[in-house]
Amino acid sequence: MPIEIKVPSVGESITSGILGVWSKPDGSYVKTGEPIFEIETDKVTSEIVAESSGQLKHLVKAGDTVKIGQVVASIDEKAKAPAETEPKKEATTKKEVANGTVTAPARTAAAAPVATSSARGKNADDLSPAVRYQTEEKGIDPASIKGTGKDGRILKGDVLAVENVEKTSSPSASPKQASASTGERTSRRKMTPLRQKIAARLLSAQQETAHLTTFNEVDLSNIIALRTKFQDRFVKKYETKLGFMSFFVKAVVHALQIVPAINARLDGDEVVQNHFYDLGVAISTEKGLLVPVVRDADKLSFAEVEKTIAAYAKKARDGKITLTDLEGGVFTITNGGVFGSLLSTPILNPPQCGILGMHTIQDRPVAIAGRVEIRPMMYLALTYDHRLVDGREAVTFLAHIKEVVENPAAVLLEV
């Protein structure tokens, strides 16, 4: 009797998801441990592997909504592997070659399996499920992609890079012209579970919290000077770049320690005070905004913060973020400045009661000691839950962030 493949539980409170892509076609032979499909939920995308070897049969289509525990496929263990006779053919060919009796077609067949390492990941069977899904969905030929992974393997980021180049270089790639070619004025698609979850959480935050935003601006001259002076030495020692985010993470930790009211949350009619500093750092992905958590940020060095954020960004691009990565943050930092945003009012990430919005850096004229100077300035926005935090505390919190960012030595001296 074939083995049933059910949708596994991928986290508490998750009852359904979308079967995003089949990694193996219907009727194909799969081996134990091989990925067979991806399940996309409102939080993460998980890769499901075969529990045993056999012939795979699809019971639902890619894109269908499935429930946890639902049978979506079966594996017939009695089916024989189609490649079992191939080694004998190869041995015969090698013998013919040794005797000098091989014909031209046989020589070609014998030479076919030989390939350089740079060609790995070009064939459909060598691609990871995420890469295969992206290339098929976007109509990109894997052979045209230069892989940056180990032994030339194609990564998901390589596919996205090619897509971005095609979008900017090809006028025909625009949605307006694409719809014109099909004669349709509009198109319709279902919201992904992640997009639905984001929408629900944003609406809930707007309706259930007394959110208010206060603003300030910071001069980044000293941080830029430090990065310029020590960047090469920093990269050489830690093998990662010194970015702006680590300075802001340290500044937020410093401000939370001075204004602990923002490091708290409401639980019914009780205030839960946090005595740890797990900070969420928003990362934009093609599927939506994810907020992985930098654990114990107060205990990490600048290099450790940068490496942690870089690792999360890579996991997000590769679709490997887990629920554990996203849970338990006490405060969030989001940087709309990377997209050119000059000013915004970030929305709270419940149950947290504070979120800091960073924005683009602009050279602006400012008054310094009675003189007008051009300085690299950034607007900061702090949105907070007014049920827990008063305006005085919010303004004080933002003022301390400004002080640390403009005088980064204060972090090292812990003053």
What type of residue is 100? G
Task: Respond yes or no: is residue 386 known to be catalytic.
Answer: yes
Task: Respond yes or no: is residue 26 known to be catalytic.
Answer: no
Which is catalytic among the residues 26, 318, 386, 400? 386
- The number of C-alpha atoms within 13 Å of 93 and in the hemisphere containing its C-beta is 16
Which is catalytic among the residues 26, 232, 296, 390? 390
Strand order in the sheet with 354-368: 211-219, 371-385, 354-368, 331-335, 279-281, 293-294
Q: Rounded CA gap, 283 and 129, in Å? A: 22
Q: Rounded CA gap, 349 and 280, in Å? A: 9
Sign of CA dihedral 396, 402, 403, 404: positive
Residue 352: both structure tokens together:
């947290």
Q: Which residues are annotated as catalytic?
A: 386, 390
